[in-house]
Structure formats: C-alpha cells, structure tokens
C-alpha cells in the first residue's frame, strides 16, 4: 500500500472517530465512545505507516489535519444541522488551498 493510501485511510478513520466523539455525548454512550478510541487508534496507526513509507511528516500531518477539518465541517452541516457561515467557508477554503499548495509545490523527500 502507498503512503497516500495509508494517509487517506487514516483520514477516514479520524472522521469516524471525531463524528463518534460528538455522538458519544461526553463519553456517556458506550458504542460511540468505543468507536472514538478504536477510530483514533486506527487513524494514528495508519498515519504512522504513511510516515514510515517516507512521506514527509509536515506534509502528512497538514493533509491529515486539513482534510479532517474540512471533512468534519461538512459532516457537521450534513448530519448535525451545523451552520456554514462566510467565515467558515473562507477558513475551509484556506485550508483546502494550503493542502493543495503542499501537494503541488512542495518537493517530496524520501528520507
């Protein structure tokens, strides 16, 4: 599996964990609480695998956290009736722009 595949799976796992964090209602609901712990554990493991395959740490973390932030904002709107105001749209757009700049213009070192 490639570093990017590991990273994308880590992001998906992080989205499940963070959504479950909301559903756990302060860790009072057992199943969502378990999904939080398992989801973040899997996410960090997969993130570590992408780093092991020579993805630069700063780039991997920026992509993981940036796409995770955007994904959670979208899931919040779709499933939790959260609002998307102008400030959030601008902020999310800047995060997307930052991830794109990292991927398109930053040289990848294979240290």
Beta-carbon count within 10 A of 67 CB? 20
pLDDT digits (tens, 9 = 90+) for 30-52: 999 999 999 999 999 999 999 99
* Interval 83-98: pLDDT, tens: 999 998 999 899 889 8
Domain ranges of the chain: 3-105
pTM for the predicted model, two decimal places: 0.85
- The CA distances from residue 106 to 18, 33, 69, in Å, are 29, 38, 21
CA distance 55 to 52: 7
């Amino acid at each position: 599996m490639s570093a990017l595949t590991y990273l994308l799976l880590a992001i998906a796992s992080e989205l499940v964990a963070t959504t479950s964090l909301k559903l756990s209602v302060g860790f009072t609901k057992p199943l969502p609480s378990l999904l939080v712990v398992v989801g973040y554990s899997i996410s960090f493991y997969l993130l570590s695998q992408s780093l092991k395959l020579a993805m630069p740490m700063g780039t991997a973390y920026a992509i993981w956290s940036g796409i995770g932030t955007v994904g959670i904002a979208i899931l919040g709107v779709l499933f939790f009736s959260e609002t998307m105001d102008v400030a959030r749209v601008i902020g999310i757009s800047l995060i997307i722009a930052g991830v794109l700049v990292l991927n398109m213009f930053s040289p990848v070192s294979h240290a």
